[in-house]
């Protein structure tokens, strides 16, 4: 019979941070399947990805990205120095050495063999035209995050054009009234008028004719 082991699982505490991908350098050590999965994920985000391994799966050489750099060789500590994030996709004594170096140089790092050994995890990103949402589960269940992402994306798509509209308005608002204006337009009431096609009229009324 299935036994509920939730009480034995440690709930994870996450610090939510969004990184500007093209400015981020990610080092990945290992040339196997786990490394390939992480490499593809980070490449699609637009980050610069540097992969170091003595051997690579053939599929690595079929990846066509300007932001991918492959290096054949043994691990040396200087490989991590200019990287923001490290991904450790191998096992053995060398893994412990890499983790030790990551701690010494205050690097964010992922241990692919056991995510609890690292100090970060990769989020499941849900994207629409105007919204990016990072999703994690509190008990380390990535498949559940994928399951939820499809449902959440449908909800985000419902409001996506509205978020784009209010984001453009935000760029136009100036002065001391900006906080009040943003609170007004990012509301269920204003969304109702937006869907009815009266948003510009309601906004003009709210601004007492000062909006053009």
Domain boundary among 57, 92, 122: 122
Going by pLDDT thresholds of 50, 70 and 90, the confidence category of residue 142 is confident
Model confidence at 140: pLDDT above 90: no
Nearest CA among 66, 70, 67, 81 for reference residue 31:
70
Please report, rounded to a whole number, the percentage of residues in the chain having pLDDT higher than 90: 75
pLDDT in the model for residue 10: 64
pLDDT of residue 29: 98
118 and 146 within one domain: no
Model pLDDT, residue 92: 87
The owner of tokens 């959440």 is: 152
Q: What CATH number is given to the structural domain containing 47?
A: 3.40.50.720
Asked if residue 71 and residue 39 are part of one domain, the reply reads yes
Q: Kindly state whether residues 57 and 12 are assigned to the same domain.
A: yes
pLDDT at 4 over 70: no
Structural domain boundaries enclosing 197? 142-206
| CA atoms of 152 and 4, how far apart (whole Å) | 26
Structure tokens that stand for 99 in this block: 């983790």
Same domain, 116 and 173: no
Q: Is the pLDDT of residue 175 over 60?
A: yes
Q: What is the mean predicted confidence (pLDDT) over 44-65?
A: 96
> Does residue 103 lie within any of the structural domains?
yes
Q: Across the chain, where does the E strand assignment appear? A: 25-29, 48-53, 68-72, 85-88, 108-111, 124-127, 132-135
Tell me: do 17 and 107 sit in the same domain.
yes
* Global pTM value: 0.82
Choosing from 122, 153, 178, the residue where a domain stops is 122
Beta bridge partners of 132: 127
In this structure, is residue 91 part of a structural domain?
A: yes
pLDDT tens digits, one per residue of 23-39: 999 999 999 999 999 99
Domain match, 152 and 183 both: yes
Within a domain: residue 17? yes
Do 118 and 157 sit in the same domain of this protein?
Answer: no
Does 183 have pLDDT greater than 90? yes
CA dihedral 31, 121, 134, 41 (to 10 degrees): 0
Decide if 136 is inside a domain. no
Residue 104 in any domain: the answer is yes
Q: Are residues 155 and 93 both part of a single domain?
A: no
Mind listing the pLDDT tens digit for each residue in 71-97?
Answer: 999 999 999 999 999 999 998 889 999
Same domain, residue pair 70 and 111: yes
Same domain, 100 and 56: yes
Domains: count for the chain = 2
- Is 192 among the domain residues? yes
**Domain annotation covers residue 155:** yes
Same domain for 82 and 49, yes or no, is yes
157 and 202 co-located in one domain: yes
- What mean pLDDT do residues 198-212 have? 78
């Amino acid at each position: 019979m299935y036994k509920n082991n939730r009480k034995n699982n440690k709930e994870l505490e996450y610090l939510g941070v969004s990184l500007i991908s093209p400015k981020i350098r990610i080092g990945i050590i290992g040339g196997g399947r786990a490394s390939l999965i992480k490499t593809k994920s980070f490449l699609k985000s637009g980050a610069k990805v540097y992969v170091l391994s003595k051997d690579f799966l053939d599929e690595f050489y079929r990846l066509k990205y300007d932001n991918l750099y492959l290096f054949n060789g043994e691990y040396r500590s200087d490989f991590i120095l200019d990287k923001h994030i490290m991904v450790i996709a191998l096992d053995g004594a060398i893994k412990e050495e890499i983790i030790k170096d990551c701690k010494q140089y205050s690097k964010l790092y992922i241990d692919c063999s056991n995510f609890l050994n690292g100090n970060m995890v990769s989020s499941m990103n849900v994207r629409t035209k105007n919204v990016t949402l990072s999703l994690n589960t509190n008990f380390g269940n990535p498949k559940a995050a994928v399951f939820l992402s499809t449902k959440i994306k449908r909800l985000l798509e419902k409001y996506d054009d509205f978020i784009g509209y209010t984001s453009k308005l935000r760029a136009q608002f100036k002065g001391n009234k900006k906080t009040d204006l943003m609170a007004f337009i990012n509301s269920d009431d204003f969304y109702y008028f937006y869907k009815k096609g009266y948003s510009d009229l309601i906004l003009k009324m709210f601004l007492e004719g000062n909006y053009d």
